[in-house]
A and B are shown apart, each in its own frame.
Chain A
Amino acid sequence: MIGAQQFRTQFFVPNLPNPIARPAAIRVVSPPSILGSRITAVSAAGAPIAIPCGEGGDGGCNTLLLPLGLCREALPKHVAVIMDGNGRWAASKGMPAAAGHEAGCRALQGMVKLSCKWGIRVLTVFAFSSENWHRPKPEVDFLMMLFENVFMSLSGDFLREGIRICIIGDSSKLPKSLQNMATELEEITRNNSRLDLIIALSYSGRTDIVQACQKIAQKVKNGILKPEDITESRVAQELDTSCAAGYAYPDLLIRTSGELRLSNFLLWELAYTELYFAQSHWPDFGEDEYAEALLSFQKRQRRFGLRTTS
């Protein structure tokens, strides 16, 4: 099987580009004419962007750059992503799977940057599932090393950009050094409030529900709670995902690589989430693809079991 040799490549931290610190280049095609008019510009990726201007000129408004067609008020507050397809991407280019995972990391950094820019409040990403432990050991070891290096190299950026990190999943299975790094990262970014980045590592939706059940059962056993008091909100409080203050449930789930399933991700939380399945592999999921997913979200009619008209 491919993979055994590929993961012995040394991963050098300085090689990882740092897009969070470097904003995307913008080519302005026409200058602003009057206060309040829209400036047409083109992003580095070639996607047209409209820059809305506020009353006070462009001093305060140029922090928000949205792709055309997107409306800020209708953007999802919480986006979840199943980052699928690193291995297939690498195979399609004749590269080892390790290269796919590295490219996947870069794609994630791009998405974090865009989410900050576009005002998304919570981004939950499925980095490593409990089932992934069954992958070949060299691949698993490589991934653990990759996560540790990424946390280490990006911790400064997370602080600077106001990103709060939460790690969800069964951290006891992670290597000790990664556990410590994750705890430290959560601690130092605890007070950030621009974007909550929730990283699901060694995570299983079913296991999260059962552990919530066990925590509740312990409270019942200790007399803190009665069985009759077990409500949906009580269960939600005990899930790992309760760390996303304010926007616990994803509005939009994006899964890349064309697979049409949830794969044990956020089972409780996805009850009313809009699902979007992208054909491209995760390393290819860039600004255009993200904008398309958000546009699709904006066209959806969310009824939550009700009727929209009488």
Chain B
Amino acid sequence: MPTIFGNLCCIVRRCIFSVLSIGPMPNHIAFIMDGNRRYANKRSLEKGTGHRAGFSALISILRYCYEMGVKYVTIYAFSIDNFKRKPQEVQSTMDLMKEKIDELLTEQSIVNEYEVRINFWGNLNLLNDSFRLSVEKAMRSTCHNTGPVLSVCVAYTSTDEIAHAIEMSCYEKRDMMKELHACSCKNDFFEEYDMQSVISVVDFERHLYTSGCPDPDIVIRTSGTNYCLFV
């Protein structure tokens, strides 16, 4: 009986989504998934249960997004500022995320069902080795998928992303200048040097983690707080 009820709910949901899909749909939704711990505290649940419940909610939301045809979903999983929390909490959060990422790569997961391509955006050097390896494996094994794109922001802040993009742009220009200097003849050199040395918007954007992905159409933040850090 639960299965029949479940199937019925699924059918009703898909009908509602079909109706919704007639109107304008966002191409890219970004989620700031706030409130896991408050959810657990409110229900007097054990520590860590909130994050697990948050992950289940995420999988449901991803399914709904993909059923509605949303091509890009970005989630804010862990900020660089969250590293300032207690070490045990940081470690257990990292362990949980690694466990869930490994789960997502199994046969029966939503990633394989919809052929999702997963990106991880952030300063991945800040992650511990085993977690970083899982992250790299997830990106490698889904990089050829042609379905919707799931971008997970981990060890991320927008200001760090921008500073990193500026640093990379400078490295790129510096290397280009050296190359130009090495192989240009004197007459052409100064003209080429001035034209090429300006970093353009395009150069800069190319070095953002988010390069290649359209801007979010809507940001949804749960738990009633009103700030961004996710521009």
Contact = CB atoms under 8 A, between A and B. Distances in A.
B32 to A, nearest CB: 12
Nearest to A226: B170
B186 interface: no
Given A217-B199, A235-B159, A305-B81, A230 B229 contact: no
A305 B82 contact: yes
A12 interface: no
B74 interface: no
Contacts of A213: 165-166, 169, 199, 204
A247 interface: no
B231 A231 contact: no
A220 B170 contact: yes
B5 interface: no
Interface string B135-167: 000000000000000000000011110110111
Contacts of B183: none
Nearest to A271: B229
Interface residues of B, number: 36
Interface stretch (A49-57, A80-88, A128-136, A273-281): A273-281
Contacts of A310: 86
A30 interface: no
Nearest to A212: B166
A188 B160 CA distance: 37
Interface string A266-295: 011011111110000000000000000000
Contact of B170 (A217, A262, A273, A275): A217
A231 B163 contact: yes
A301 interface: yes
B163 A273 contact: no
B173 interface: yes
A166 B54 CA distance: 45
B228 A306 contact: no
B201 A276 contact: no
Range class of the A interface residue count: 35 or more
B89 to A, nearest CB: 8
B85 A221 contact: no
B79 A274 contact: no
A210 interface: yes
A18 interface: no
Nearest to A221: B197
B226 A276 contact: yes
Interface string A185-218: 0000000000000000000001001101110110
Interface of A: 206, 209-210, 212-214, 216-217, 220-221, 227-228, 230-232, 234-235, 262, 267-268, 270-276, 300-302, 304-307, 310
Interface of B: 37, 79-82, 84-86, 89, 157-160, 162-163, 165-167, 169-171, 173-174, 177, 197-201, 204, 225-229, 231
23 contacts: A206-B201, A210-B200, A216-B170, A217-B198, A217-B199, A220-B174, A221-B173, A221-B177, A227-B170, A227-B171, A230-B163, A230-B166, A231-B163, A232-B160, A235-B166, A268-B158, A271-B231, A272-B228, A276-B226, A302-B227, A305-B82, A305-B85, A306-B84
Given A271-B159, A274-B227, 9 more contacts: A217-B166, A230-B163, A234-B163, A268-B159, A270-B227, A272-B229, A275-B226, A300-B225, A305-B85
Give the 3 A-B CB pairs with smallest separation, nearest first.
A305-B81, A227-B170, A230-B167
